[in-house]
Amino acid sequence: MTDRQATLSRWDAKGPVRAVALVLHGGAENGLNPVRPWGLAYLRMVPFARAIHAAAAWHGVEVRLLRNRVRGWNEPDLQPVADARWALERIRAERPGVPVFLVGHSLGGRVALRVADDPAVTATCALAPWTPEGEPVEPVKKRDVLIAHGTRDRITSAAESYAYAVRAQDYAARIARFEVLSEGHAMLCRAGAWSRLVRDFVLDAAGVRALTAWEQRPEQRLRLPL
């Protein structure tokens, strides 16, 4: 059954809300099992939400962590996409006119790229994203996009995320892609590096501190070592 409701956890900004970071967890290609609060894919994103909050709350960034209804992508129903759009609609209603930054891992990375066309979204970060051949790049038009992929990932394809980034160059406002050395899909071997990258992405999107990746020439930005 998929009539259950997605949920949003929130970490408040310190003072007026100037932006919202929406964090999206991973999942599976297929599956209608509910996402539990103790599910590993969901729990893996809690430290990212907390790291964003610790770094950006004083700059007016509120953090939301979405828990999907079900684990699977489930073509053609795409429940995670619908859940993310529900979350964005709710954020727009509660924080009108406030920019939203997306951070997603694995399936959540694919969702983040897919829903980047929401009018509130200005920047998208996809960690070890699932970007199969043919994944549309039009949703990231005029958005800042940051992709990071472990060089030892055996679950999602770093080659496919690179191919996606190449295609997205003609659409995104700016795009950069990091290759996280000696790292697999779970982002555990070098957890600190991933956390710092996400923190820097949010601070850049919020206009606090520029991401150093943008200093590189566009042709060099898609294979940046980390």
141-166 pLDDT per residue, tens: 999 999 999 999 999 999 999 999 99
Cα dihedral value 161, 30, 45, 189, nearest 10:
-60
pLDDT, residue 93, reads 98
pLDDT, residue 219, reads 85
**Long-range contacts made by residues 32-38, C-beta under 8 angstroms, separation at least 24?**
32/1, 32/2, 32/70, 32/71, 32/72, 32/74, 33/70, 33/71, 33/72, 34/4, 34/69, 34/70, 34/71, 35/67, 35/68, 35/69, 35/70, 35/71, 37/67
E runs forming strands in 15-78: 19-24, 61-67
Examine the pLDDT at 179 and tell me if it is beyond 90.
yes
Domain 7-225, CATH homologous superfamily name and number:
Alpha/Beta hydrolase fold, catalytic domain (3.40.50.1820)
pLDDT, residue 35, reads 97
- Percent of residues, the chain, with pLDDT higher than 70: 99
Decide: 101 and 201 in contact? Cβ < 8 Å.
yes
Number of residues written out for the chain: 226
* Average pLDDT value over all residues in the chain: 97
Please state, in angstroms and as integers, the Cα–Cα distance from residue 144 to each residue in 37, 88, 122, 153, following that order: 30, 17, 7, 24
- Percent of residues, the chain, with pLDDT higher than 90: 97
* Segment (H or E) for 176: strand 174-180
Q: Which residues, at least 6 apart from 55, have a Cβ–Cβ distance to it below 8 Å?
A: 199, 202, 203
Q: Tell me: the pLDDT tens digits for 28-80? A: 999 999 999 999 999 999 999 999 999 999 999 999 999 999 999 999 999 99
In 3D, which of 125, 128, 159 has the Cα closest to residue 144? 125
Q: What is the mean pLDDT of residues 68-94?
A: 98
Q: What is the mean pLDDT of residues 196-212?
A: 98
Question: Can you tell me which residue has the tokens 């051949």?
Answer: 133
Residues 162-183: b if buried by 16+ CB within 10 A, e if exposed = bbbbebbbebbebbbbbbbeeb
- Please give the model's pTM, rounded to 2 decimal places: 0.97
pLDDT, residue 1, reads 41
Label residue 3 by pLDDT band (50, 70, 90). low
Question: Can you tell me which residue has the tokens 């990746």?
Answer: 213
Which residue type, as a one-letter code, is found at position 98?
V
In 3D, which of 7, 12, 64, 11 has the Cα closest to residue 37? 7
Decide: 45 and 21 in contact? Cβ < 8 Å.
no
Examine the pLDDT at 2 and tell me if it is beyond 70.
no
